[in-house]
Structure 1
């Protein structure tokens, strides 16, 4: 335990709670002074995260020791604690101090229960225990772990606002089911661009089926669009030094939109690239 005590466990437990509350209030003030978004200090809601990523399956793996810093959210207690599990009011004080006193006395504390999504953990049961562990300077805690598999990789999720990007990307990949390298290559920053890109690929697939006079399923359209349209165009843009600070997909969307606006064509050749380059912003 990193926080030294006075030798009076009950008084120390009370001081632990008051210290945690003070830190939470100061953190809110600092956030306001820095003009940070509202979701910086809000723990991630498990159900929203899994909905955005797409639930696949779950399995219980039993007792593990996990890092307190990996616990970023909760199933249902987001209002009582902030992102660092500091109490947001005096509402939890009685139970909190009881657990802090037990910890100060060296009594056995039951493990918490969590969902694991990637490297992130979400509390099912044990919010007060995690809060006390943080306040007393611990870095790990014992937990019963249930691993949840999702369609999308949860990496990159830090705040609640990041879920919007994941949700739009999941919907895009349902419409355009890319796999492997292709899946990893098509990335945009603005969530709305996934919807626009999905429409673009579907339109491309419709023209492909018209030209060939046969039906292609979504997976076939997605792969052919990547191989026959996206990859060659991105290659031309790289040669023409027209990617800039955009992702490959963002550069592709920009030049495809400009191409049709300028010369009303769906073809790609040097004339198209030069026409777009001349209007490059």
Structure 2
């Protein structure tokens, strides 16, 4: 599933093509995504000028004066800027056509993505209302992690992936951040010291910033808005490297399933 860096990479890629453009048409070829695309979307969005392209966690927000389109890429979704008259491929479910002859095209083979509309503040939408702070914001730090961890017996990795604690730290980047912080992902969240949570918060920021700068991680289904893959995968230190030697100490990387997600760690470097 595309994680925060992939979504941010997409936002940065599409924003210059959308800002201050008016929507001339909305073509919905397949409305049956994770949640049905509202039948009123075309009437709501057509004629509106896109004032801002924002990200909240893994959601993209296209703001207009009349309301906000909320986009989620799901497990296999991607967005492209294409010529409005270009023929759609299979799984090209939606075109948001713009002045200037271009279109924002949603491609989603598995149809786990979403395209919704709200006239209210999107932060109050049920999908966004309970989200925690952005990991790159001042609202996220070690003290917050420790506060939520107090008394928890569940693994620290599960805490890091809890969107109510902090948004957008998915499976790949949780594994990588915990490795850099030297914390065993299996350790009970309530048994991690404050100083180690401060280190973990710093590592989360470092990993995400590096991934964003590299253009996102190359996954089987994810490519950037221009069709090129991201390149952070060349920097992964533990994720997907089970059985390979740790790049720091040479110990074999281990894999374990935590909260139904594959988790990778070094048994020597992480305690």
TM-score scaled by length of structure 2: 0.25
Task: Find the structure with the greater CA-based Rg.
Answer: 1
Q: Report which of the two has the higher share of helix.
A: 1
